Amino acid sequence: MKIAPVPKDESRRLRALENLALLDTPRDERFDRITRVAADLFSVPIAAITLVAADRQWPKACVGIEAGESARTTSFCSHTILDETAMVIPDTLLDERFVDNPAVTGDPFVRFYAGQPIHAPTGEALGALCLVDTVPRTITRTELDRLRDLAGWVEEEIGREDKRALVDQLRDSQERIWTVMDSIAEGIVAFSDDGLIRQVNHTAERALGYGPGQMLGVPIGALLRDYETTRVVETVTPNGNGPEATKLGLRQRATAVRKDGSTFPMEVVITEARMSTGRFFVAIAQDVTDRMAAERVKDEFISVVGHELRTPLTAIRGSLGLVAGGVVGDLAPEAQEMVGMAIANTDRLVRLVNDMLDIEKMDAGHLELECTDVSTGALLQASLDAVKALADEADVTVKTARVQLVVHADADRIVQTLVNLLGNAVKFSPAGGVVTVSVTKAGDKAEFAVRDHGRGIPGDQLDTIFERFRQVDATDAREKGGTGLGLAIAQRIVDWHGGRIWAESPGETGCTMRFTLPLAAPVRADLQDASR
Amino acid sequence: MSGRLLLVDDDDDIRAIARLSLERIGKWDVEAASSGAEAIERVRADPGFDVVLLDVMMPGLDGPSTLERLRDGILPDAVPVIFLTAKIQPADRDYLNALGAAGVIAKPFDPMGLATEVARLVGRE
């Protein structure tokens, strides 16, 4: 007995067989009747439609023999699928491949075999339509043609099965996708190049007051207002084909318009995607009415707390100031000293209130930056002016290395940051010491550096110093007059600008605080350079 | 530099402190009002002030509303108005300046420097 070789396209063939999902399925009249017709037409006792799997042959339909699979090694049809045309064995006893086959030497005692390969819609041979007799016989050319016709019929049925399965699969997968889409809390609206809506989820329909399907074909502009398209940024995509986002929008606040014309605030991000059929856009949006109400309450609370705390502090600071200033009479030296302490601590309390309210506002997530193109020279000068008195008092010299760059930033907030860092550097410098502040260009960012020669920062605290109330030495707040919030605020301000802030303290003494800011748009920076 | 100054603040203590500071250090002739309505009455009775120091957050008529009424033919445009405020957000400062104030002084203020600050803001240094 000879075992049939494995077809060249075996793995593709097996995948096609698996995809058709015909193996081990129940009996099907559509195939059964073909085997009945074949047995009658050719007057053979046995006819079968077989599928050749990895290790077995399985009959999808058969007559004249009990349906049961057999090992692939002894399978006749595993030879049939090697060729495009029918395999005919007039007498198995005269064929060395089959003479000792168990189906020849035992039940059902095969003497004659004729098999026509049957193919998947994609072309791979799946098995055969075969005729079997227990006596030797011949087959005419006309009979072979009829056998091929019947095999064609089998293939038609398989193809029909395949299409039905495809449609079912497609419907299933669509249903799965949209069940997920509809259960997402965000509204999802996909629109094509012409701005017309092509697909929406239920969340979007409900939020905007449309019935199922009513939004299809509506222009996107009818339900989206105050969206700044200028804030869409291009991103680089590594590979060209397939559906993928080629533009990523920034999440932003906009106004949603309901079907009845009423509006509500939303947060929306629009991405551009490319498919084989062209490009389209996907807007994902969320109603932020409640969040904005909560933000308003918090803003109001912060504003009231600020006012309520500062009013008594104004009276305390004011009366102490007048007493210390001798406006209401001279003080004994000891009393003068006490009042001085009271003033210093009141000032610290005021700074603490200011810093805490500042950081609350930032953490509430809506620090309003008023960014303009501003020169680093102007930022440094304003910061130096602000710390001059402090530096003079501490006998510390502040030096600058002037590099003129133009950054896109909120000048007030960056001066606040620089004053903070410079103030720390001065406070921790020894008398007669030097603090250096510089600006350099680092890629598409400007990098600010404030260097002192004070006691430095231990390596394990370089990150934690940016946390609230985290100082290198617990007594610093009292001795240095800080609030413990300065660096936390600086970090938030830099973060909001899209920059980064960090501390370096390489040696025993001194540390360098660095932060980056985005440079202004290149064209304008070039103009600035050219005009200088 | 002396002159007549109208001080408007609803807090008695702050009024007393500011008055003392402005009179003793700045040599201003200070008149005080404890509400926006009272301020409007005083100016209507006698508009001859050289500067008005106006608190922002007051019950009833707040600072900005008081300024609006005063500018509606009661107080001559040439008389500078300075806001006093316990809200110190930069945006608030911009908003107040945009209302036509000569300047904004944050609370708490240093009483020894208050008069100098007022003088600076109205250009009487």
Binary contact (A306, B13; C-beta < 8 A): no
pLDDT digits (tens, 9 = 90+) for A162-202: 777 788 888 999 889 889 999 999 999 998 878 889 889 99
A481 and A380 within one domain: yes
- Residue B3: inside a domain: no
Q: Is the pLDDT of residue A206 over 90?
A: yes
pLDDT digits (tens, 9 = 90+) for A325-370: 998 889 999 999 999 999 988 988 888 888 888 888 787 766 777 8
Q: Give chain A's end-to-end CA distance (angstroms, integer).
A: 94
Interface test with A, best of B89, B96, B105 (most A CBs within 10 A): B89
- Residue B27: inside a domain: yes
Distance from CA of B17 to the nearest CA of A (A): 6
Binary contact (B20, A328; C-beta < 8 A): yes
Window from A84-88, A100-104, A269-273, B100-104 with minimum mean pLDDT: A269-273
Window from A168-172, A308-312, A406-410, A508-512 with minimum mean pLDDT: A508-512
DSSP E strands in A193-277: the ranges are: 197-200, 224-225, 233-234, 244-248, 252-257, 263-275
- Specify the length of chain B in residues: 125
- Residues 39-78, chain B: which have Cβ within 8 Å of A? 57
CATH value at residue A467? 3.30.565.10
Contacts of A455 (CB under 8 A, 6+ apart): A428, A509
For A318, the closest of B14, B87, B88 (CB atoms) is: B14
Binary contact (B88, A318; C-beta < 8 A): no
Provide the angle, in degrees to the nearest 10, between the axes of the packed helices B111-121 and B12-24: 70
CB atoms under 10 Å from CB of A51, counted, come to 23
Contacts of A315 in chain B (CB under 8 A): 11, 13-14, 17
Distance from CA of B73 to the nearest CA of A (A): 31
Task: Please give the share of chain A, as a percent, with pLDDT higher than 90.
Answer: 50
Across the A/B interface, how many CB contacts are shorter than 8 Å? 72
For B111, the closest of A306, A313, A318 (CB atoms) is: A318
- Residue A97: inside a domain: yes
* Average confidence (pLDDT) over A151-163: 88
Name the nearest CA neighbour of A391 among A452, A447, A303. A452
CB atoms under 10 Å from CB of A401, counted, come to 11
DSSP string, A329-388: ----HHHHHHHHHHHHHHHHHHHHHHHHHHHHHHHTT------EEEEHHHHHHHHHHHHH
A32 sits in which H/E element: helix A29-42
CB atoms under 10 Å from CB of A49, counted, come to 28
- Residue B32: inside a domain: yes
For B108, the closest of A314, A327, A328 (CB atoms) is: A314
Among A246, A269, A287, which residue terminates a domain?
A: A287
Cα–Cα distance for residue pair A397/B77, rounded to 1 Å: 46
Q: Where are the alpha helices (DSSP H) in A212-332?
A: 289-324
Provide the angle, in degrees to the nearest 10, between the axes of the packed helices A486-496 and A411-427: 150
Contacts of A324 in chain B (CB under 8 A): 112
- Residue A179: inside a domain: no
A382 and A477 within one domain: yes
Domain region containing A323: 291-363
CA angle A192, A194, A196 (to 5 degrees): 60
For residue A93, give the DSSP letter: G
A420 and A397 within one domain: yes
A20 and A157 within one domain: yes
Count of domains observed in chain A: 4
Task: Please give the share of chain B, as a percent, with pLDDT higher than 90.
Answer: 67
Tell me what pLDDT residue A297 has.
85
A523 and A386 within one domain: yes
For B86, the closest of A307, A322, A328 (CB atoms) is: A307
Among A363, A388, A412, which residue terminates a domain?
A: A363
A116 and A247 within one domain: no
- Residue B96: inside a domain: yes
For B57, the closest of A307, A328, A368 (CB atoms) is: A307
For B14, the closest of A314, A325, A327 (CB atoms) is: A314
Tell me what pLDDT residue B88 has.
67
Could you tell me if A346 lies within 8 Å of chain B, comparing CB atoms?
yes
* b/e per residue B83-101 (b: at least 16 CB within 10 A): bbbbbbbeebbeebeeeeb
Binary contact (A318, B90; C-beta < 8 A): no
Count of domains observed in chain B: 1
Distance from CA of A419 to the nearest CA of B (A): 16
Tell me what pLDDT residue A339 has.
93
For residue A509, give the DSSP letter: S
A118 and A98 within one domain: yes
CATH value at residue A226? 3.30.450.20
Q: Which amino acid is at A142?
A: T
- Residue A247: inside a domain: yes
- Residues 230-259, chain A: which have Cβ within 8 Å of B? none
Contacts of A431 (CB under 8 A, 6+ apart): A394, A395, A396
- Residue A180: inside a domain: no
A527 and A399 within one domain: yes
CB-neighbour burial class of residue B75 (10 A; exposed 0-12, middle 13-18, buried 19+): buried
- Residue B118: inside a domain: no
Tell me what pLDDT residue A366 has.
61
- Residue A171: inside a domain: no
Could you tell me if B110 lies within 8 Å of chain A, comparing CB atoms?
yes
- Residue B66: inside a domain: yes
Cα–Cα distance for residue pair A68/A54, rounded to 1 Å: 16
Cα–Cα distance for residue pair A254/A349, rounded to 1 Å: 40
- Residue A193: inside a domain: yes
Cα–Cα distance for residue pair A94/A91, rounded to 1 Å: 6
Cα–Cα distance for residue pair A209/A98, rounded to 1 Å: 74
- Residue B26: inside a domain: yes
Cα–Cα distance for residue pair A422/A300, rounded to 1 Å: 32
* Average confidence (pLDDT) over A474-493: 76
A217 and A128 within one domain: no
Bridge partners, residue A421, by sequence: none
Domain region containing B102: 12-109
Binary contact (B13, A315; C-beta < 8 A): yes
CATH value at residue B35? 3.40.50.2300
What is each CA distance from A73 to A13, A15, A52, A105, B28, in whole angstroms? Answer: 17, 20, 11, 15, 115
- Residue A1: inside a domain: no
Q: Is the pLDDT of residue A242 over 80?
A: no
A235 and A145 within one domain: no
Among A272, A287, A302, which residue terminates a domain?
A: A287
CA dihedral A217, A221, A225, A231 (to 10 degrees): 110
pLDDT digits (tens, 9 = 90+) for B36-85: 999 999 999 998 999 999 999 899 999 999 999 999 989 998 999 999 99
A385 and A516 within one domain: yes
- Residue A460: inside a domain: yes
CB-neighbour burial class of residue A252 (10 A; exposed 0-12, middle 13-18, buried 19+): middle
Cα–Cα distance for residue pair A132/B50, rounded to 1 Å: 122
- Residue B50: inside a domain: yes
Distance from CA of A493 to the nearest CA of B (A): 14
Q: Is the pLDDT of residue A156 over 90?
A: yes
Arithmetic mean of pLDDT over chain A: 86
Tell me what pLDDT residue B21 has.
94
